[in-house]
Amino acid sequence: MTEGTLNRPAVAGESAAQGATPHPAAQNVVQIGGPKPAPHWPDTGRPEAVQPQRPAPPRGGPAVGHRGNALVAQALHKPQNALQTAQHMLPAPRPAAPLPRAPQPAATPGSARLRPRHRGAMWAFALLVLLPFAALVWYLWAVAEDQYASVTSFSVRREDQASPMEMLGGFAGLSTGSSSDTDILYEFIRSQDMVARIDAKLDLRAMYGRPGPDPVFTLPADATVEDLRDHWQRMVRISYDQGDGILELTALAFTPQGAQQLATAILEESTAMINDLSAAARADATRHAQDELDRAMARLQSARAALTGFRSTHQIVDPEADLQSQMGVIDTLNTQLAEALIELDMLLQATTAADPRARLRQDKIAVIEARIAAERGKFGAGSGGEAYATVVGEFERLTVEREFAEQSYLSALAAHDLARAEAQRQNRYLAAHVRPTLAQTAEYPQRLRIAALAGLFLLLGWSVLTLIAWSIRDRR
């Protein structure tokens, strides 16, 4: 390299960037050995600019400062070694920084391709959702038979009449509902017994037979009792409000008249069942009192029969009255005996004992005493050789038993009447708030509701199955 090359004039841009220098040769040396200007990168959308770092001095090399400027000035006087000297004095150039990676262009919408699992999900959606939903819609609107509804509402009531004490106390209850009876009636309407009773009246197999090609809402001709019961529970719908004790029944049939007849028959059978329950409750309430009354009556009859047999055997209607009669005879004889003795004593004062009148009075006294002895002897032995006291004692025992039986019978009869009155106060009856209606429009089956619910469950099922399948695939 020659001296003329080192002393070439500086570029105008470089001189303006570096400012004024003491000598043109020093400018050329600094440009040759100094760092390269920072490259101009294209705008990549980054807000910050790339700041070049100052190169560190080479390990073991001289620092560039005032001493370096002095050496450069000396090199101007020795042009043959200027380039070599400047190259040793200036720091080594740093390696070029790598170019930043150009950003990838964003994917345009619609450029993604379908993967196999996406195609599988679409096929599963078509098979599990669209096809069954279309079949269900076709069946509901093209095959399913129209059904008419008859609505009735009723409840079980118990009429509680207040007793006189409750009326005085102000606690008179007019009528209350019976939840237990309503529960029994609810189960009875859904039972096979009710199905058998209504079938005997209306022939449910003919009513629910197939008027068309509907295989779901109609009953086959060879249906068993269990099939008829299951179909009954689908066609007769019961809503039970336990708070108010009200039953709302909806009977479905393929004709309006059939639905009304079905609801009326159910209401009649329910009324009969409640009446049977009421009669059974009354019988249960009075059964114990009736048993006590029957036992008391049998006991009274036995006591009366025993007393009647006693009277027939001894031929005494009332031993007490007979005893009073016997005591009256004895008292009369005693009075006559006393009078005869007085007459005899007065006669003996006037005459002697040989007087015929005295002997007559003595004979009379003897007869009266014999009669008194005979009458007194009856108290010791009655008819048939039985003691009269024993007869009277037996009669008194039978009389006491009869009186006790009569008292027991009166008590049992009063208890029976009271139990019957209590049972009558707790009378049950079926109160129909809404009589069976006659439909004019077929409201069933509810096609829109069934289709919406079926579509929702099909969609949920497909979503769950798809998520399960994808999670299993991702775990592999």
Per-residue pLDDT tens over the stretch 232-250: 988 999 988 887 888 999 9
- pLDDT greater at residue 66 or residue 199: 199
Residue 149, C-beta contacts closer than 8 angstroms, at least 6 positions apart: 250, 251, 252, 259, 439, 443, 444
- Tell me whether residue 197 is in a domain: yes
Q: Which pLDDT band holds residue 313 (cuts at 50, 70, 90)?
A: confident
Mean pLDDT for 77-93 is 51
Three-state DSSP class for 215?
coil
For residue 266, pLDDT over 90 is answered with: yes
Say how many Å lie between the first and final Cα of the chain, rounded.
Answer: 70
* 247 and 359 housed in the same domain: no
Q: Please report whether residue 153 resides in a domain.
A: yes
| Residue partners of 352: CB distance under 8 A and separation at least 6 | 358
H/E element, 421: helix 388-425
pLDDT of residue 375: 75
Alpha carbon dihedral 339, 344, 346, 350, in 10-degree steps, equals 160
Assess whether 138 and 73 both reside in one domain: no
User: Do 311 and 198 fall within a single domain?
Assistant: no
Write the pLDDT tens digit of every residue in 408-459.
999 999 988 888 887 777 677 888 888 999 988 888 888 899 999 999 999 9
Q: Is the pLDDT of residue 395 over 60?
A: yes
How far does CA 102 lie from the centroid of its chain?
70
Q: Is 56 part of a structural domain of the chain?
A: no
DSSP type of residue 205: H
Comparing CA positions, the residue from 395, 383, 400 lying closest to residue 321 is 395
Q: Which pLDDT does position 326 carry in this prediction? A: 72
Tell me, yes or no, whether 439 and 456 share the same domain: no
Would you say residue 46 lies in a domain? no
Same domain, 3 and 84: yes
Answer yes or no: is 152 within a domain: yes
pLDDT above 90 for 84: no
pLDDT mean over 376-384? 58
Per-residue pLDDT band for 378 (boundaries 50, 70, 90) equals low
Q: Is the pLDDT of residue 382 over 60?
A: no
- Going by C-alpha positions, the residue among 439, 441, 446 that lies closest to residue 263 is 439
Residues 133, 240 within the same domain: no
Give residue 380's pLDDT.
Answer: 57
Instruction: Tell me: do 222 and 352 sit in the same domain.
Output: no
Containing domain of residue 298, as a range?
Answer: 290-425
Residues 6+ apart with CB under 8 A from 245: 155, 156, 177, 178, 179, 182
pLDDT for the residue numbered 411: 92
pLDDT given at position 264:
93
Among 278, 249, 245, smallest CA distance to 265 is for 249
Helix boundaries (H) for 190-255: 192-202, 204-207, 225-235
Looking at the fold, whether 269 and 216 belong to one and the same domain comes out as yes
pLDDT of residue 361: 83
24, 14 in Cβ contact below 8 A? no
Residue with the bigger pLDDT between 438 and 143: it is 438
State mean pLDDT over 381-397. 68
Closest CA to 141 of 455, 448, 442: 448
Overall number of domains in the chain: 4
How much is the average pLDDT of 13-22? Answer: 40
Residue 162, pLDDT > 60, answer no
**Overall average pLDDT of the 138-164 stretch:** 80
Indicate whether 59 belongs to any domain.
Answer: no
Q: Is residue 334 included in any domain, yes or no?
A: yes
Residue that is written with structure tokens 């809503």 in the block:
239
CATH of the domain at 258: 3.30.1890
Mean of per-residue pLDDT scores for the chain: 74
Average pLDDT over residues 346-364: 82
- The yes-or-no verdict on residue 265 having pLDDT over 60 is yes
Whether residue 181 is found in the same domain as residue 303: no
Share of the chain above pLDDT 90, in %: 19
Q: What percent of the chain has pLDDT over 70?
A: 67
* Whether 233 and 126 share a structural domain: no
Whether 54 is covered by a domain: the verdict is no
Q: 398 near 307, Cβ under 8 Å?
A: yes
Q: In the predicted model, is pLDDT for residue 176 greater than 50? A: no
